[in-house]
Chain A
């Protein structure tokens, strides 16, 4: 008690000292030295003191500034600058942070709803519990999304006032629906989260469904704004000749011709599809990282088992969404080419071509990380050794594909190396840098990862289907045929013209997609009610597997940052491609080195904030604070005050 009083006394003294010091400092600063002149003192008393030369100078300066401000006519600012960082980087970082949180907030309800629905159909409470665990992450993330959305909006209005005004001129009719939908999203999100266990299952599922519908609609509206900047027009067969024509949404001077064409522009739907899939992959990986974080903190076997399972489901969601993502990427790239060959060539063969080598490294790491986690996961089950002999072959296939995909067409070389090679491309390796090789590599990567997943799914299980041998062979034939087709088109692409070669990507993609669908359709009945040869031991994963999950989440985040940069940077010196020029000092494309620095800083800020989200979300599972009981049986509040 005495100690507390002493501490309190010291605190009060310190507070008084600070106040006194501040006041004294203020007094000394405000009162200049004055000559001890009796006449001045007398004049001061009469209110007629003469100003010192310095004071006079200050007064004159203020008067001049005021006169200048009054004489200056009002001019609308086109751009404003941010010291040191620059306005472009400021908006870039704010937009990316907003987008990362928004992606997470849109993705989690999607798979939380699906998991809850599975639990409802299967009548298993554990699914319901898992879906709730995912949803816990939403509340704080939603606030972060809104906060960065507000930062971004103010950032645009302050730093790019003229251009923001132009976008408002085009899209103002969409703002009110956007705000109303945002309000509805908050309503559904909080009722979905806080209503867990309070509503009946059907009502709760309805809330989850509506949350997803509204969230997706919000994203579709925002996507129209950003895709308009890249492709301000729509494709339609206007003259009825069967060939799609370009229908510009704005005139050459930028005046709006059709809001419909501005909204449903060339790249709007490809971006919608790409973002839905990428958001789910990203959201799954972040949720898995949260589970890994909690797993590493877990004290009991029960906690470890729960978070191991959560991490597995999160990663499963991420990988399942990740597999079709390259196809969605192709669709987007094809639409960019269809809108403007110049834009497409800038992306793949011009200023940004080296960015795709970094992207290859990122995606290669994602595939490696995901497969590594699956292989480690086989250790959860008894009987896992049986399939482990296949892992080295899968690893070799993945490593080879990774190497092919990351091989650039033109090597980074010194002058002597260029002379030795006879050009900037390597005589043999440059063949691997062409699209034929890269398309083949990514398709085989997808097939290999799917194979890892199939092996994982079979570990510790034995099919009891009467035609199991036939069905398994059928799966093997489908798998091998798809791989053979992919390789055939990859090799054949070197022997045909460019116009034909480009089209080979389509049968490659379709054969892999068809294989994934057919094999899954066969696998479901094949392993329904399968005999368990051993028990799944959740919570027995080594710590390194959890770090792999966090590594996957990091790589996903970095990849999103990088691809966000290329999508936006493609416009180069245009605010709206081909219509509104950027005339600010930032109207140039920075080096890739600089861009990756900005992406890295953004990722670090995001993960710092994510740590706060994880910490706040984990508080929900902790015991409530309770007053400490004292010896005489009364509760004692903190600070020593007894009730």
Chain B
């Protein structure tokens, strides 16, 4: 005996089945809720080591450095330069700039110097939507200096911006 499914029922099944299939695809991919980055507290008595820790937190959170842009210790086709060793490399990138000055310039004026082989694209992270404060910028620079170099930045350091 041939089982005949009425046309309206077929339509309903098609609509429900297709929608359920696409919804299922949405369930099997990695699930992550993205919350706004929590506020990072920087107090006046923080040492350079403290700033390095805060900077690392900012890099993967509010600062968005490691959210799809830069990497640390990766090779192959990269979107933006890998930051491994930047603490040592910074002083040699531009002849007339010290390591600290180079790092400050790359955060405040990222278009001023583009690492060969990469495209211009980074935005100044003291501006919206990232809007890091001056102290937060110092923390990020301290963290960058720690990648292959010796961090020197304190909250009293004048970045020149």
Contacts and interface: CB of A to CB of B under 8 A. Distances in A.
State whether these chains interact: yes
B128 A345 contact: no
Interface string B1-26: 00000010011001110111011011
Contact of B123 (A340, A547, A596): A340
A342 B64 contact: yes
A-B residue pairs, 9 tightest by C-beta: A596-B26, A578-B128, A349-B68, A578-B129, A499-B119, A589-B34, A591-B31, A345-B68, A573-B36
Interface string A348-387: 1111011101100110000000000000000000000000
Given A350-B67, A350-B68, A498-B77, A555 B14 contact: no
Contacts of A589: 33-35
Nearest to A430: B76
B19 A591 contact: no
Taking chain B's interface residues, is the majority helix, strand, or loop, or is none over half, making it mixed?
loop
Contacts of A578: 128-129, 131
Interface string A311-355: 000000000000000000000000001001110011011110111
10 contacts: A337-B121, A412-B29, A434-B77, A573-B36, A577-B129, A588-B33, A596-B25, A603-B19, A604-B19, A607-B15
Contacts of B117: 497-499
A40 B119 CA distance: 91
Interface in B96-154: 117-119, 121-123, 128-131
Q: How large is the interface on B (under 10, 10 to 19, 20 to 34, 35 or more residues)?
A: 35 or more
B29 A354 contact: yes
Contacts of B68: 345-346, 348-350, 353
Contacts of A297: 7
A555 to B, nearest CB: 7
A296 B26 CA distance: 31
B31 A592 contact: yes
Contacts of A337: 121
Given A497-B118, A498-B77, A499-B118, A551 B14 contact: yes
Given A341-B122, A596-B25, 7 more contacts: A342-B64, A348-B68, A351-B34, A558-B22, A578-B131, A599-B26, A600-B22
B27 interface: yes
A600 B28 contact: no
Interface of B: 7, 10-11, 14-16, 18-20, 22-23, 25-36, 64, 67-69, 77-79, 117-119, 121-123, 128-131
A578 B77 CA distance: 30
A603 B19 CA distance: 8
B34 A572 contact: yes
A497 B26 CA distance: 33
A353 B68 CA distance: 10
A346 B64 CA distance: 10
Contacts of B118: 497-499
A358 B34 contact: no
A526 interface: no
Interface in A584-599: 587-593, 595-597, 599
Contacts of A593: 26-27, 29, 31
A241 interface: no
Contact of B33 (A353, A547, A591): A591
Contacts of B7: 296-297
A393 interface: no
A175 interface: no
A593 B35 CA distance: 16
A348 B123 CA distance: 17
B34 to A, nearest CB: 4
A579 B128 contact: yes
A171 interface: no
A588 B25 contact: no
Given A358-B29, A499-B117, A593-B27, A588 B19 contact: no
A209 interface: no
A558 B26 contact: no
Contacts of B36: 572-573, 587-588
Contacts of A346: 67-68
Contacts of B64: 342
A32 interface: no
Contact of B15 (A342, A554, A595): A554
A256 to B, nearest CB: 16
Contacts of B19: 554, 558, 600, 603-604
A296 B9 CA distance: 12
